[in-house]
Structure 1
């Protein structure tokens, strides 16, 4: 993925990473099973619910991953609900540390030879301001592998954190002159003064804008609306993702995904890693 659709360059950070961290055996093992061609449109929704968070998605070539976080006693825990919180499942242990190890092993990239950032979509579930402030503190420790915004300029790294969820996080983020994360906008942010250097991604609930779910013909008016939204975002250098989309295997989902590809959607949301991989590879995506 690129931070915007108009720029593809990524900062080479291998030299800066040299010697900073030992490579865990699990990261080495992931590399030893081959190098899947990265899928630039594949987004792993609620990635942490898979048996091997991060690693399963990377083994299928995904270039965008989603993790929900809660701030608990000063630590960022990954879970979908408070009832599922586990103090051993931290953002650092499940994502940041293994990503750093992998970037080091792959000479500056999440996928060896792939010179685009992989997106880490971090969904803040509660307490947006305090949660983001702690996240910002933690991200600074991994800044050598991260895309960043510094005094008006974007610098690309191997991983681009994008902050979603609790909208309150926007306040401290917009005030920063230096940050290691970007903001996940909504459809209301299309055409506003917020630049792609702050909002590189526009996400929305599909069912709030469209009725079609893959069965029957895609209504012409809805198809035109989808294409117009994507075109408008791309004109502003932003990417587009919808959640709450059909994800049950079958003809309806295939028809739905086919329409998303035709509209040049940037991220296709799924919990079915193998299913989306097969779909995209069969179509040369």
Structure 2
């Protein structure tokens, strides 16, 4: 059999060869967070091609045009690398490819089919990595510029996803799933932004809670006291070095290092938060792998990785 052979009328353009949800077939989903995404030329596609479920955009608001630009530092900002171009438009493209609607697919009313067993609100089929998958792509937006203006710019620039109904949202009583879940981090969890996000009864942005400060409280813009909970912040994060004194250069000590780290992860999860420790050691690779293996065995929800190719093969 030649690799170019097709038994169907129409050859390679035959409708039998088109499987809408096969856009990302054979890509298993992996609970990896793609850290330092700004290093990648095509961050969304690179991450998703490895099955990575969580990506991150570092954004700066330019007061000249009120547009968000992507970079970790001011020195690396360029006019072309906007939040819209590098992230939002790419996510829209991925989800449109994975949710084809044409004369072939609309023959079946699969919206009703999926909403029968799926509870409170009807929703269209969407998939990230395989047919029927309902695991959202998590987009962390790290606000580098301070102030509410950056927060409002993020909300504004999410419009293409919002208009298509593709953002996970909180409707005041429960979370309504969507294919993209947006979490603010960095300056996005500062007191001024938290004060606005927490009181909102209908919102499509969430927060990344500080894992080591889950008992802190603050006043919302409505004058009500708020605290961290999993409906506001589904994930709690901290730097690896702030969470443990273990460096990974040797096997973790069961009593003085492993037990406290395990307790930190399990106690955070018992409160409903998923856990992520960022900036774990990157080099040497045997140290990196030892830390990944230990964190995975201790049950952390997300492995944070700069080298996502290595994490995907881990």
TM-score scaled by structure 2?
0.74
Alignment RMSD, CA only? 1.8
Pick one of 167, 172, 194 that aligns with 1:146.
167
Matches within 5 A, 1:18-97: 35-40=26-31, 42-72=32-62, 73-97=65-89
Matched, 1:174 2:198: yes
Matched, 1:126 2:145: yes
Q: Which structure has more RCO (C-alpha within 8 Å, separation ≥ 6)?
A: 1
**What do the CA deviations read for 1:100-142 (whole angstroms, capped 9, x no partner)?**
2211221222324221111111100112411011111222441
What 5-or-longer segments of structure 1 have no aligned partner?
Answer: 1-30, 280-285
In the TM superposition, residue 152 of structure 1 has moved relative to its aligned partner by 2.8
1:110 counterpart residue number: 128
1:195 counterpart residue number: 229
In the TM superposition, residue 99 of structure 1 has moved relative to its aligned partner by 0.8
In the TM superposition, residue 59 of structure 1 has moved relative to its aligned partner by 1.1
In the TM superposition, residue 58 of structure 1 has moved relative to its aligned partner by 1.0
Query: What SS does structure 1 have at the residue aligned with 2:80?
Result: coil
Query: What SS does structure 1 have at the residue aligned with 2:198?
Result: helix
**What do the CA deviations read for 1:236-261 (whole angstroms, capped 9, x no partner)?**
22111111211125221111111101
What 5-or-longer segments of structure 2 have no aligned partner?
Answer: 1-21, 100-125, 217-226
Structure 2: distance between partners of 1:133 and 1:224:
41
Moved more, 106-115 or 165-174: 106-115
- Preserved CA contact (<8 Å) 1:147 1:160: yes
1:137 counterpart residue number: 156
Structure 2: distance between partners of 1:102 and 1:33:
9
Larger Rg: 2
